[in-house]
Structure 1
């Protein structure tokens, strides 16, 4: 950066520099060089340094839709403080691109996308491969999203460093340009050839102006221009023959390649990072923002500054080599700290917002149960009405240190507190079945805004019960009260030590721990689910590679211990335990091949003969009335160089499947292209993967496998369309252009994974299976409160919406206008209708874009209601004044 500023200021021939499409480097640089702020600002305002539109250069598939939106919003906001925002859709090294990118760009006022991956093969050291079947005939193309949005696509066909280190020596320059012009001209559809003078880890070329002068001398028929992206794109548009350009539709995932260089297995590198990211994204976009928006409607200031801080911390973990888990160990240790910091800020916003709203909820109905009634409010911040089993901790009584009671007396009073004769009631007066756990003495403290901390000793209990039909984005009040009333008893869900049955789903566990899942609504049974697979992995952080000729191990036929670990109220759980053993590592050949930098597809290493224990604990949980089976898998990994997956054979006939992606349920072919050579065909997912098709009896059926932070799956070509979900991948080197050991990528230690199965009648969207998968991502929130009157009903919600095929994404305040915004998107490729009941007090509404700026595109509010036609796969943002 020092060199860049000096060169721009002293060499007028060095016209401009594009600062890699992001703004975070400005913060990083000024931490070290605060005295250079005015120099930097002057060059940005003069257009010599281009910044934005992103905050960071993120991975596309491993970050949520809302994270991609925040990345754009923060990038625009920060770039706008310095000068003009570069309206360049810059994805130079992103490991493939999601299909909704064109729509996202268009809604942000960007009509282009520049990228290096997703269309052509790239191999070791990012070398560009050759194929006869590129998605595009040229490096220029038209890219169309599922909604029909189009942008001009520019593929860095010779990589985004094809103009590096231009010679100033005439003889060297002549050879250099003879080769480079031929390489670029081979792919270009216009006379305008793009050369990128820079790359990651690349210092700027301070003598570039002289190198360009020499280039003109050795190639007099070519005009060499030190250009910028806006001018280059204008020139391409003016010269391009639109009819000659290929129209590439949807996702860019390098499918018409040999499959060795897609970098898709970064989705399973260091799975713990993906799980931490899922938790961080969830608490921000699915809890903190909607609860803060609700609290604002009740009168609390919206904490935009804290949310921006938490989002920036989270986004700092989203660069592709970071969230992809393909860096050295030190990078990823720092990420864990950032995840924690961001999440803790968000959790504080959740707690403060929920407590504020709870104080406005009318709980006076519980006053009739006596002075020691203990009300609490349960919040459902998801976008759909929801029932489920939740646990809430209540302080049955407190004694504050300020009361002057000695510790001995304080403890005696708490221990002797009578907790008997109580029941859980809803605001409607119904008595609910409830499991009560006495947590005993607990220390706690309040942190008042206007006083020193207030410590106390309390007697705490945990209540577990079934919350029923809590409104979307809303709340319901309950109380633990003095009462002799007894709840209606529900039938046990655990019929015996191997069976769960809630009247909707039935689960039967076999001797080897696999299980059959029957959907009573359709009669469809999915047998043989839940088999574990362990494969050797001699690849690296970027790509999985199984040892040649070595079959994976599975738990099929391995005896398992099965027992009931929970049975009501509202939920029952079976525990399945396998005492298993797997190879300790790869054999000694792998170490030699890594040190000799043998490209991973050419490695010959096998698996070690030594075995280490791998104890697998699987808990299956079924809730009353639920159509979703929850799964928690846990194990302590002591093996290296391997991959662990859970297998869910669907037994359905289907050529395609569906995976949750960014603002999209992406339909993908299960069979790879003819060019594909890699035995593995793993793919990215967000919340779920689904196979829907024809069952053996001829009926339509589907199975959705939902997950939390497990970003890699594969639909196996095994005749059963088995959905395989990666729980762990252990590797020992970074990979790519050298040998960088990464022992912490072996992920030694305890691991836990959360999944769920949602069987349905064959239509992922119409059945609501997708909503069940999204709700798995969204934790319940509960907060204790007092008995008081309030302006909010005991059960209610700030807004309501309806729309078949519509998915909820965000309820928050715009950082630009301060208006409340609601974002939803259409999962189907056909028009839909959205109906929304706005919050009380909303005076008007308008249709916005992902930057959440106020527009003149007014929407008609009638008695607080609006109806809106939603286009196929459209992302809709509604602003509410």
Structure 2
């Protein structure tokens, strides 16, 4: 159902719960599913009941937190997972005790770094529902033999060595629902439930969960337990809580618990219900999420933190509001794309709201910082010189091709003036001619688009709105060597002498359909595929960029290719290829494909959906009617880049299909690597023997990598979260760009026509060749940097305390990845986080002002110890948070 329909049911449930607590003293406790948002949503309707909720929490009857929401772990960033804990703890603390349990009841797989994250948050137990034993639908245990763990309880370890007690819902999280009151019915019920739970429990303490999705509370639970006690006098039936249950279990744990390390993704199953294909359902939602997360954690927070260090108040309230609005899209059935269409209409609005707030904070911070940058060097170019600052908040120094719009020749006006006359004044006195310089006064190659005179306005803090007319230009140029977490300053110099603004004749085009820079050479073939030669490793990658389309008769959860279906590809089909950009700093080709693909699945699929035929038993195939699938690809190479950037535009007119791009690496290896939450996870390319699913898709965050000792290829994406490394001789990476399906799936018939993703779909991805081995870490950093756009801010010509080129937090560490920079809400300290990409120890060096104290922190931003020496040692796969206190 849509959110507000569920909201109404939530209100009814909490009201019923409060009434039951008041009327039944034996109704001991209720667990609010490990989150705080349910209380927030309830109090939105009944704010006057806050004291009642607080009293129940203080009494231990309601358990709240530690999360804000129950997220999907693999489709939300590392920082989103951390903010989820931080905000959940902060909200829960205002009501009473925080539930210190790593609660993952229905995540579609569990992140490998969970134990390290939980330990840093002071949590030593995780309770989860998926990813370990061979399971069927909703985690029903199929066979108790030959499992990863003989018990529901196990030790779960992260790659760094952090451990927590893991408790699996071996009989799902509804194994104690709807307990009968009638003695005869209750006897049958309990005989079954006790036997099933004893089958997997390692202690005498059996966990039964009294509730499920869409279910009201059991108001006669106390009576049902009284009946159970009479029927089974040798058992103690306790209406308990998680804290007491876990304490009892820990006191009796056996010595032979299984140690499970890293990700829990259901790899030792038949492969059908790992639900990994939710990573490709409604790709547009994943793309909006990636944009939103990047905007907040990699741009808004760092810029606000830098501005705070220069004297500006940090916008804690607005930042938390933006994060909360984003995280309201992070529950697994939301971000995974497996809900009804109405859910996604509202999600798009939430993304827009969060990004509007984040963008406003970015603009505010960038203007504040820019006003403190010394731009006086540009005064010598005349009073019309227009300065602007480019910010690189990715955490990695880099060169980047920048496009921005500037305005000059401003003419403010008031209501008594004729706007048409003002427009003409600006038009008569301004023009689009000129040249670009950096802070050393060097002229730069630049492409200029004259946008003419346009209206604009300012909203000053000290007076009424200020409308104006100004001449606008769109500039594209290469900003070389932007410092990490820093800025560089440039200026546009208006000048009528066109000779001085003429670009150089340098080009990256070296032959027909060939472009190259110092690092790589790219040659486009007649069918639109391309080869890439890596000059550093002297290795060639061929037949890249072939598109593959197949049928899909599955659902939003699970991809299912029809029996006998043959892939339709662009291989060997002539493409339309043309050069679309040729500047000294960037070259680009446009490649146009038209594939004739089946319009939809045949009519049998509709019948199978309506009659709830399980997807594995469906016999439908693709229809005979064909429609054109138009794919427009732009491949571009920048002068200073080690990567090829790709933009794919898909005009989707077909239903019930999946489109992927094939990227042969030429490397046959049993292992590959994928960016995950605070780690680059090592994964097996060939699935376990019990795996039956012909598809072996996997999750990724920013990239997937296949490498050998001397060569490797990293494929990075923006909001593309599903890939498969094919079991061929070429080590082919298949990156999913689009999946079109028409039903939700799961337990009923829910049509989702919007999930067909008809119309224009866009995918952005990048290819980064490297020298393999330890050389891969530079490629990983390039993949992270690729996802973070630069920020620009126009400013005036003025003196300032900041130099025109400056880094606010320089750091070094070959295997280290930058994660976040923000301000601690409690003490105002700067908090910076990195993590070790390698499964071997590494070092981190940080350059800060001399009058600063550095200290180790956990992810909750609590000081643990002072930093004594540099470089700072970091354990394998370690997540390190450093607090910086100005002295």
Provide the rounded CA distance (Å) in 1 between the counterparts of 2:503 and 2:429: 27
1:520 and 2:532 aligned: no
Provide the rounded CA distance (Å) in 2 between the counterparts of 1:434 and 1:131: 67
Map of 1:452 onto structure 2: 464
- How is 1:818-833 mapped onto 2 (pairs within 5 angstroms)? 818-833=828-843
Which of residues 272, 282, 285 in structure 1 aligns to 2:294? 282
Map of 2:187 onto structure 1: 174
Deviations 1:433-482 (A, max 9, x none): 11111011222111111222211111101111110111101000111125
Provide the rounded CA distance (Å) in 2 between the counterparts of 1:273 and 1:331: 11
Shift of 1:418: 4.5
Map of 2:868 onto structure 1: 860
Q: Which sections of structure 1, spanning at least 5 residues, go unmatched?
A: 695-699
Shift of 1:404: 5.6
Which of residues 256, 264, 272 in structure 2 aligns to 1:260? 272
**Mapped contact 1:692–1:764 kept (Cα < 8 A):** no
Which of residues 554, 557, 561 in structure 2 aligns to 1:539? 554
Map of 2:437 onto structure 1: 425
Provide the rounded CA distance (Å) in 1 between the counterparts of 2:609 and 2:684: 34
Provide the rounded CA distance (Å) in 1 between the counterparts of 2:204 and 2:230: 19
**Mapped contact 1:122–1:262 kept (Cα < 8 A):** no
Which of residues 863, 871, 874 in structure 1 aligns to 2:875? 871
Provide the rounded CA distance (Å) in 1 between the counterparts of 2:209 and 2:684: 34
Provide the rounded CA distance (Å) in 1 between the counterparts of 2:136 and 2:457: 56
1:306 and 2:318 aligned: yes
Give 3-state SS (helix, strand or coil) of 1:63's partner.
coil
Map of 1:720 onto structure 2: 730
Shift of 1:765: 5.6
Provide the rounded CA distance (Å) in 1 between the counterparts of 2:392 and 2:413: 34
Map of 1:34 onto structure 2: 47
**Mapped contact 1:89–1:105 kept (Cα < 8 A):** yes
1:653 and 2:668 aligned: yes
Map of 1:782 onto structure 2: 792
Shift of 1:494: 2.2
**Mapped contact 1:760–1:767 kept (Cα < 8 A):** no
Shift of 1:815: 2.4
**Mapped contact 2:712–2:776 kept (Cα < 8 A):** no
**Mapped contact 1:689–1:704 kept (Cα < 8 A):** yes
Give 3-state SS (helix, strand or coil) of 1:239's partner.
coil
1:810 and 2:820 aligned: yes
**Mapped contact 1:845–1:880 kept (Cα < 8 A):** yes
Shift of 1:627: 0.7
Provide the rounded CA distance (Å) in 2 between the counterparts of 1:833 and 1:208: 55
Shift of 1:78: 0.2
Q: Which moved more, 1:485-494 or 1:114-123?
A: 485-494
**Mapped contact 1:514–1:556 kept (Cα < 8 A):** yes
Map of 2:614 onto structure 1: 599
Q: Which moved more, 1:505-514 or 1:830-839?
A: 830-839
Map of 1:90 onto structure 2: 103
Provide the rounded CA distance (Å) in 1 between the counterparts of 2:247 and 2:420: 79
1:609 and 2:609 aligned: no
Provide the rounded CA distance (Å) in 1 between the counterparts of 2:525 and 2:421: 54
**Mapped contact 2:394–2:785 kept (Cα < 8 A):** yes
Shift of 1:488: 8.3
Provide the rounded CA distance (Å) in 2 between the counterparts of 1:691 and 1:27: 44
Deviations 1:693-722 (A, max 9, x none): 26xxxxx20000000000100001122111
**Mapped contact 1:764–1:770 kept (Cα < 8 A):** no
With normalisation by structure 2, the TM-score equals 0.96
Map of 2:232 onto structure 1: 219
Shift of 1:226: 1.1
Which of residues 762, 769, 792 in structure 2 aligns to 1:759? 769
Shift of 1:486: 6.5
- How is 1:346-357 mapped onto 2 (pairs within 5 angstroms)? 346-357=358-369
Shift of 1:824: 0.4
**Mapped contact 2:821–2:832 kept (Cα < 8 A):** yes
Q: Which sections of structure 2, spanning at least 5 residues, go unmatched?
A: 1-13
**Mapped contact 2:113–2:262 kept (Cα < 8 A):** yes
Which of residues 65, 79, 82 in structure 2 aligns to 1:52? 65
Deviations 1:583-641 (A, max 9, x none): 11100110011011111111111001111111100000000021100000001111111
Map of 2:259 onto structure 1: 247
Shift of 1:27: 1.2
Which of residues 376, 395, 411 in structure 1 aligns to 2:407? 395
Map of 2:356 onto structure 1: 344
Map of 1:567 onto structure 2: 582
Map of 1:697 onto structure 2: none
Provide the rounded CA distance (Å) in 2 between the counterparts of 1:111 and 1:716: 38
Map of 2:477 onto structure 1: 465
Map of 1:7 onto structure 2: 20
Shift of 1:749: 1.2
Shift of 1:766: 4.9
Provide the rounded CA distance (Å) in 1 between the counterparts of 2:429 and 2:653: 46
1:637 and 2:646 aligned: no
Shift of 1:131: 6.0
Shift of 1:209: 1.3
Shift of 1:317: 0.2
Shift of 1:761: 0.3
Shift of 1:840: 6.2
Q: Which moved more, 1:490-499 or 1:168-177?
A: 490-499
Map of 1:731 onto structure 2: 741
Map of 1:673 onto structure 2: 688
Which of residues 749, 753, 756 in structure 2 aligns to 1:743? 753
Map of 1:70 onto structure 2: 83
Which of residues 801, 816, 835 in structure 2 aligns to 1:791? 801
| RMSD between superposed Cα atoms in Å | 1.5
**Mapped contact 2:840–2:877 kept (Cα < 8 A):** yes
Provide the rounded CA distance (Å) in 1 between the counterparts of 2:572 and 2:323: 47
1:152 and 2:156 aligned: no
**Mapped contact 1:690–1:764 kept (Cα < 8 A):** no
**Mapped contact 1:133–1:256 kept (Cα < 8 A):** no
Map of 2:341 onto structure 1: 329
Provide the rounded CA distance (Å) in 2 between the counterparts of 1:428 and 1:215: 83
Provide the rounded CA distance (Å) in 1 between the counterparts of 2:827 and 2:843: 26
Map of 1:129 onto structure 2: 142
Deviations 1:96-142 (A, max 9, x none): 10100000000000001000111124434554433644221210000
Deviations 1:761-797 (A, max 9, x none): 0136655000110011101111111110000001001
Give 3-state SS (helix, strand or coil) of 1:463's partner.
strand
Which of residues 854, 858, 864 in structure 2 aligns to 1:849? 858
Residues 502 and 229 (structure 1 numbering): CA distance in 2 closer, same or farther, change over 3 Å? Answer: same
**Mapped contact 1:362–1:791 kept (Cα < 8 A):** yes
Give 3-state SS (helix, strand or coil) of 1:631's partner.
strand
Which of residues 364, 380, 384 in structure 2 aligns to 1:368? 380
Give 3-state SS (helix, strand or coil) of 1:15's partner.
coil
Give 3-state SS (helix, strand or coil) of 1:38's partner.
helix
1:143 and 2:159 aligned: no
Provide the rounded CA distance (Å) in 2 between the counterparts of 1:406 and 1:778: 43
Give 3-state SS (helix, strand or coil) of 1:69's partner.
helix
Map of 2:598 onto structure 1: 583
**Mapped contact 1:380–1:781 kept (Cα < 8 A):** yes
Shift of 1:152: 0.2
Provide the rounded CA distance (Å) in 2 between the counterparts of 1:46 and 1:645: 54
Map of 2:249 onto structure 1: 236
Give 3-state SS (helix, strand or coil) of 2:708's partner.
strand
Shift of 1:676: 0.3
Provide the rounded CA distance (Å) in 2 between the counterparts of 1:778 and 1:764: 24
